[in-house]
Amino acid sequence: MNIVVLDKYAANPGDIPTDELEALGNCTFHDFTEPEEVVERLKDADAALTNKVCITAEIMDRLPRLRYIGVQATGYNVIDIDAAHKRNITVTNVPAYSTDSVAQITFAHLLNVCNAVGHYAQDIKQGAWTEKRCFCYWDTPLIELAGRQLGIIGYGNIGKKVAEIAKAFGMIVAHASARKNATIENDATALDELLATSDIVSLHCPASKDTMGFVNAEFIAKMKQGAILINTARGQLINEGDVAEALHSGKLAAYCTDTLVHEPALPDNPLLAAPNAFITPHNAWATLAARKRLLHTVAENLKAFKEGKPQNAV
């Protein structure tokens, strides 16, 4: 079996051995692949592995040998799934490998807003504390999480893990679906009620036709004055201009995100100039432990396919 990895660098810049995958066939690794290079690189491939490189119906039509596409991620919107099914190409993904890591960065962002540890650490290195008369000082609000309400939108594996951590902090937890006209069940809250009552709103829902850009001015207007908004899900959920305006006006106290609509960030992204916008470079999933789980499952998915028993097929 000829196996081609189109964008190895994202999940494995060189710190994880590739022997588990190489045991399954003749492997060719590319750190990055441009759209115009995909067909040439996959022309002799039986199996393609991709993270963010798109494989469209048009590309599949030019690759009659291709029988398998392994997405090295949970989201598989980079693949035309209908086209793959029509061409008898199996597509797999890797669910739930990053749950703990994404929940962790959700609270890294929240604690950064509440305690400003980075700000004070840098301030002190620059001599700010040595100039004070009192033994302590603070120049930002210091927020205790106990008793605050965290509203979680999207209650899958990550949303539930975030809820578990929040309860350990003594927080009140509510959750709601992002889907329009969703049935309210399993202790869920209506979305409008969640927005009106939550001190912090954290997004953990997929990007879909119902949720693309749904966090807009109308959505934000329903939130509490001075609420904190966290997005460790998908940048496409957000109208970034509306969020930036809410930060400038003070309607939102902070926006914490690990993902943007366009990645890497565009120089004119309005969030880059907005106050209290805390942005990390889509690396919530990228702890060493999570990436090892990811790549192990990628290899296991391909092995199962070779044995005629596909797993994690989408």
Name the maximum alpha-carbon separation found in the chain. Answer: 75
User: What was the pLDDT predicted at 60?
Assistant: 98
Question: Which of 109, 204, 282, 293 is flagged as catalytic?
Answer: 282
User: What was the pLDDT predicted at 239?
Assistant: 98
pLDDT tens figures, 203-212: 999 988 889 9
Contact at 8 Å (CB) between 230 and 256? Answer: yes
Sheet of 252-257, strands arranged across? 172-176, 149-153, 200-203, 227-231, 252-257, 277-279
Could you tell me the pTM of the whole model?
A: 0.93
Q: What's the CA gap between 300 and 24, in Å, rounded?
A: 10
**Is 193 a residue of the active site?**
no
Q: What's the CA gap between 186 and 302, in Å, rounded?
A: 36
227-231 and 200-203: which strand pairing?
parallel
Helix then strand then coil, in percent of the chain rounded to 5, is 35, 15, 45
What are the angstrom distances between the C-alpha of 150 and each of 4, 65, 140, 215, 227? 43, 50, 21, 17, 10
pLDDT band at 14 (very low <50, low <70, confident <90, very high): very high
Place of tokens 């962790």: 104
**Is 58 a residue of the active site?**
no
pLDDT tens figures, 233-279: 999 999 999 999 999 999 999 999 999 999 999 999 999 999 999 99
User: What was the pLDDT predicted at 51?
Assistant: 97
Question: Which of 34, 40, 218, 263 is flagged as catalytic?
Answer: 263
- Percent with pLDDT over 90 in the chain: 94
Q: Any bridge partners for residue 231, and if so which? A: 203, 257
User: What was the pLDDT predicted at 184?
Assistant: 76
Question: Which of 148, 175, 234, 293 is flagged as catalytic?
Answer: 234
Tell me what the mean pLDDT of segment 6-18 comes to. 97
CA dihedral 261, 264, 268, 274 (to 10 degrees): 70
Task: Examine the pLDDT at 183 and tell me if it is beyond 80.
Answer: no
pLDDT tens figures, 130-165: 999 999 999 999 999 999 999 999 999 999 999 999
Q: What's the CA gap between 114 and 100, in Å, rounded?
A: 21
Tell me what the mean pLDDT of segment 41-55 comes to. 98
User: What was the pLDDT predicted at 151?
Assistant: 98
Please tell me whether residue 75 adopts helix, strand or coil conformation. coil
Burial of 206 (0-12, 13-18, 19+ CB in 10 A): middle
**Is 263 a residue of the active site?**
yes
Nearest to 178 by CA among 153, 156, 204, 212: 153
Task: Examine the pLDDT at 180 and tell me if it is beyond 80.
Answer: no
Task: Examine the pLDDT at 57 and tell me if it is beyond 90.
Answer: yes
Beta strands in the chain (DSSP E): 2-5, 26-29, 47-50, 68-71, 90-92, 149-153, 172-176, 200-203, 227-231, 252-257, 277-279
Instruction: Please calculate the CA angle 77-32-234 and round it to the nearest 5 degrees.
Output: 35
Helix axes 288-306, 99-115, angle to 10 degrees: 160
Q: What's the CA gap between 233 and 231, in Å, rounded?
A: 5
What is the enclosing helix (H) or strand (E) of 161? helix 157-168
